[in-house]
């Protein structure tokens, strides 16, 4: 839309255009039958609860990409995921700040929390909304980085937080280095619970056989090295991984192995029977 040359009229148009985009986006999501939470702003407290907080550190003033801002510390829901106004309630303040900006008045940097590559607004929601509505790509922000137990990678909507929550609980039960966790990915949150049970059962059998106590870290380390890694290698060679992740394949064939053979051991006969049952 071309500007009128009248700052007040232009900011009114900017706000109305942002509201129309929000309504049209919501309608498009409904017509595409996407999950209801796709366009909802991510709540910082829920994200941190799912990921588990380890600590934080202040990084100071930085320039950050606007498309990395996906959430808020505020409990109100005045803006959607792209910081478009969800109602007319914020209009007065929105237009007042936008008008000041058009007149050349400097707006202070916003305050954000950084979780992985994502940013959550502590102060400055209207400034973010105005910046996006007027086509800016970046914004100045005072950044505080939050360190979490589980990486924020893969969070696109609120529904993803359940998966992250189960992943965090799995990591508490099965302590492993980051490179090992990168191989233990699943698509169904409940699979993390099943995998944790499988590791603990393997550890119990190991302790029974060796007649000695092993702590969680030792059980996890040995399970990954002596059970998971060689079994996945065998499944890959036998073309039994399937279309899911390797962790999902491990659990699937482990369950099937026990049903067929009533054993927790792996050998050529187990692989042969599993291939026949495919």
Averaged pLDDT of the chain: 86
Instruction: Identify the three-state secondary structure at position 89.
Output: helix
> What is the separation of C-alpha 28 from the centre of its chain, rounded to a whole number of angstroms?
23
More confident residue, 77 or 195: 195
pLDDT band at 30 (very low <50, low <70, confident <90, very high): low
pLDDT band at 235 (very low <50, low <70, confident <90, very high): confident
Task: Summarize the confidence of residues 85-91 as an average pLDDT.
Answer: 88
Pair of tokens at residue 232: 């996945």
Q: Is the pLDDT of residue 262 over 70?
A: no
Task: Summarize the confidence of residues 48-62 as an average pLDDT.
Answer: 96
More confident residue, 218 or 14: 218
Task: Summarize the confidence of residues 80-89 as an average pLDDT.
Answer: 87
Q: Is the pLDDT of residue 156 over 70?
A: yes
Question: Cβ–Cβ contacts within 10 Å for residue 212, how many?
Answer: 8
Give tens-digit pLDDT for 111-147: 999 999 999 999 999 999 999 998 999 999 999 999 9
pLDDT band at 159 (very low <50, low <70, confident <90, very high): confident
pLDDT at 39: 67
Give tens-digit pLDDT for 185-216: 998 888 999 999 999 999 998 999 999 999 99
- For CATH 3.90.1530.10, the residue range(s) in the chain are 7-148
Read off the DSSP letter of residue 68.
Answer: G
Do the beta carbons of residue 87 and residue 188 sit within 8 Å? no
Instruction: Identify the three-state secondary structure at position 269.
Output: helix
CATH number for the segment(s) 7-148: 3.90.1530.10
Give tens-digit pLDDT for 169-190: 999 999 999 999 999 999 888 8
pLDDT at 2: 57
pLDDT at 32: 59
CA-wise closest residue to 251 among 172, 196, 177, 176: 196
pLDDT at 204: 93
Do the beta carbons of residue 243 and residue 222 sit within 8 Å? no
Q: Is the pLDDT of residue 34 over 90?
A: no
pLDDT at 91: 92
Alpha-carbon gap, residue 129 to 98, rounded angstroms: 10
Weakest mean pLDDT among 45-54, 119-128, 141-150, 246-255: 246-255
pLDDT at 215: 95
């Amino acid at each position: 839309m071309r500007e009128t040359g009248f700052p007040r009229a232009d900011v009114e148009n900017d706000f109305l255009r942002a509201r129309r985009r929000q309504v049209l986006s919501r309608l498009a999501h409904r017509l595409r039958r996407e999950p209801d939470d796709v366009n909802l702003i991510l709540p910082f407290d829920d994200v941190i609860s799912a990921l588990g907080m380890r600590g934080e550190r202040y990084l100071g003033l930085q320039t950050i990409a606007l498309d990395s801002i996906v959430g808020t510390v505020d409990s109100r829901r005045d803006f959607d995921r792209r910081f478009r106004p969800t109602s007319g309630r914020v209009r007065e303040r929105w237009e007042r700040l936008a008008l000041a900006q058009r007149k050349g008045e400097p707006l202070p940097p916003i305050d954000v929390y950084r979780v992985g590559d994502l940013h959550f607004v502590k102060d400055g929601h209207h400034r973010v909304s105005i910046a996006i509505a007027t086509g800016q790509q970046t914004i100045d922000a005072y950044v505080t980085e939050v360190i979490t137990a589980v990486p924020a990678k893969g969070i696109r909507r609120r529904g993803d937080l359940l998966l992250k929550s189960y992943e965090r609980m799995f990591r508490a039960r099965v302590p492993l280095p980051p490179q090992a966790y990168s191989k233990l990915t699943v698509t169904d949150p409940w699979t993390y619970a099943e995998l944790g049970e499988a590791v603990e059962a393997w550890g119990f059998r190991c302790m029974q056989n060796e007649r000695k106590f092993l702590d969680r870290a030792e059980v996890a380390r040995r399970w990954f090295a002596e059970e998971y890694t060689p079994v996945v290698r065998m499944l890959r060679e036998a073309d039994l991984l399937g279309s899911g992740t390797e962790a999902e394949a491990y659990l699937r064939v482990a369950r099937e192995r026990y049903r067929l053979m009533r054993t927790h051991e792996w050998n050529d006969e187990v692989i042969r029977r599993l291939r026949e049952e495919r």
